[in-house]
Amino acid sequence: MKTSFKEQCITLRKEGYSIIEIMKATGRAKSSIHTHIKDIPLSEKRLKEIKKASGERIRKFALARKGKSKREFRAFEKWSANTVLLVAHLLFDGEIARTRCAYNNRSVALIGRVERLMREWYDFEPSRYYNKMTGVSRITYSNVALGSYLNTRSRELLQEIKEMPSGLKREFIRAFFDDEGCIDYRPKENRRSIRGYQKDVRILKIIKSLLGDFDIASRVVLPNEVVIVGKENLIKFECEVNFSPGVYMNGNRSNSRWKKHVEKRGLLNQAILSFKS
């Protein structure tokens, strides 16, 4: 005698089958099965077994997905001017975390540069935020795999930059001073220097070493800056590295000497020209 669908559901339920398991066994919808088994509860022991099995499946899936994202990116095999520039900017004035990477700056030119560079390897737009109080813009790329990948490459960059070709060293130094640098030009006080700020003393020492490769003397002044002084050193910096066009000293700072936005490379040139022959 053929067993009815109702009887099949009741029999399986009494044997301890979950509703999902009965769906698989009968090939029928959950709503159809529930009508016949809703008054047949599972034992506490069986409920615990089902819960444990479900948790194991979830953990297995999570481990398989760890570090992955539906939003894929293009990895790069070799360091180039653009990859060094991008990772350097994220290191100096940004953030590379496990789940995301971000960049903060008041400079429209630099925010635009980082976005353009990122588009070479990642097709998705960042989240954007603008702080009206400070004038700082922030772009954030929320992607676990991308954050993890760039975090690894950033560590590689800091380890390998001293051995890279001069062109890549130049991009690294320029990114640092575009993000963290300023011109301390006070002709009445006979002050002319390039200063770069960074809490990580390790990075300050790397910058000092790289400047030395271009025969530019500098010194690390603790706790958080590298300083370049002297006419010859400023001239060499202008010729070998310089600041990027369109990158300005922030005139809105309370301690701004100029009280207006002044292009860094233009101010550097003024400082050099002001030296007495």
* Residues 192, 83: Cα–Cα separation, whole Å: 32
- Tell me whether strands 191-197 and 100-105 are parallel, antiparallel or unpaired: unpaired
Confidence tier at 251 by pLDDT (50, 70, 90): low
128, 151 in Cβ contact below 8 A? no
Token pair listed for 8: 């099949």
More confident residue, 13 or 79: 79
Tell me the Ramachandran region of residue 188: left when phi exceeds 0, alpha when psi lies from -120 to 50, beta otherwise: alpha
DSSP 213-239: HTT---EEETTTEEEEESHHHHHHHHH
Using alpha carbons only, what angle is made at residue 182 by residues 181 and 188, rounded to the nearest 5 degrees?
A: 155
CATH class, range 174-273: alpha beta
Q: Same fold for the domain at 81-163 and the one at 174-273?
A: yes
Whole-number pLDDT of residue 46: 82
Confidence tier at 70 by pLDDT (50, 70, 90): low
Token pair listed for 143: 């992607």
List the one residue out of 90, 92, 109, 93 whose CA is nearest residue 101: 90
Rounded to an integer, the average pLDDT of 186-196 is 92
Whole-number Cα distances in Å, 274 to 72, 84, 93, 182, 267 = 52, 34, 31, 17, 11
Rounded to an integer, the average pLDDT of 110-123 is 96
Whole-number pLDDT of residue 31: 82
* Residues 80, 87: Cα–Cα separation, whole Å: 11
Whole-number pLDDT of residue 3: 73
- pLDDT at residue 252 above 90? no
Whole-number pLDDT of residue 48: 83
**To the nearest whole percent, how much of the chain has pLDDT over 70?**
90
* Residues 178, 246: Cα–Cα separation, whole Å: 10
- pLDDT at residue 60 above 80? no
More confident residue, 38 or 120: 120
Rounded to an integer, the average pLDDT of 54-63 is 63
pTM over 0.85: no
Burial (CB count <10 Å: 0-12, 13-18, 19+), residue 107: buried
pLDDT in tens, 5-20: 888 888 888 888 888 8
What residue ranges do the domains of the chain occupy? Answer: 5-65, 81-163, 174-273
Confidence tier at 2 by pLDDT (50, 70, 90): low
Whole-number pLDDT of residue 131: 92
* Assigned architecture for domain 81-163: Roll (3.10)
For the stretch 5-14, contacts whose Cβ atoms lie closer than 8 Å and that sit 24 or more positions apart, written own/partner, are 5/32, 5/36, 6/36, 9/33, 9/36, 9/37, 10/36, 10/37, 10/40, 13/37, 13/40, 13/42, 14/40
* Residues 194, 150: Cα–Cα separation, whole Å: 29
